[in-house]
Amino acid sequence: MFSLPLRDDARLGPLEVWHAEEFAAHLDRAREHIRPWVGPSFVTDDVAGARATLRRYAERHADDGARLYGIRRDGVLVGGVMFTAFDAAAGSCEVGCWLAAEGQGLVTPACRALLDWAFTSRGLHRAEWHCRADNERSSAVAKRLGMTLEGVRREAWPYEGTRYDKQLWAVLATEWRALSR
């Protein structure tokens, strides 16, 4: 298995079905913190649900689609990043993240690794980032990644009976290459 260093105490690596117990334990610690910001099918309540989520990503990965990676700090799963959508034929993807505790400088370099791979190794043309408009930390990651806010889908994010606006950010391969120089 591969793993990439994000810094001395943190690494990025794939999350696979055999990580179900670890993923479930992580979600037990992070569930209430991340629930408002991620899709409801992602935040499972037990090992069986965690295994189903990991299996869903594994199947999509096998079809050259979505992929899921964990961020481990001092060996403990603290969050992750993913391609929530990946369409090589269309040349586009969507990147996302979740983290139990923000402000540690882990998400941006992890997302950079995914975007570098998507643009450099896979030759994609466009990467998107979707987030609730009131999620300032998520918007800040998109900005740090050099993305442009392309628009807001009004009341497109339902959560607990309320509808929130959803931002759409994107970066093109040409912009990414210019930023990477």
64-83 confidence digits (pLDDT tens): 999 999 999 999 999 999 99
**In this model, does residue 63 exceed pLDDT 60?**
yes
Total count of domains within the chain: 1
Query: Do the strands 162-172 and 76-87 form a parallel or antiparallel pair, or are they unpaired?
Result: unpaired
- Tell whether the model's pLDDT for residue 88 goes beyond 80: yes
Task: Give the model's pLDDT for residue 34.
Answer: 86
Nearest in space to 15 (alpha carbons), one of 72, 91, 99, 87: 72
Mean pLDDT of 101-105: 79
- At 147, which CATH number? 3.40.630.30
Residue 1's pLDDT is 57
pLDDT digits (tens, 9 = 90+) for 114-167: 999 999 999 999 999 999 999 999 999 999 999 999 999 999 999 999 999 999
Q: List, for residues 4-42, the tens digit of each pLDDT value.
A: 999 999 999 999 999 999 999 999 888 887 888 887 777
- Within 8 A by CB and 6+ apart from 181, the residues are none
Average the pLDDT over 50-61 and give the result: 96
* CA gap 172, 77 in Å, rounded: 30
Helix/strand/coil percent split, the chain, to 5: 35, 35, 30
Range of the domain at 150: 4-179
Rounded to whole angstroms, how far apart are CA atoms 161 and 64?
Answer: 35
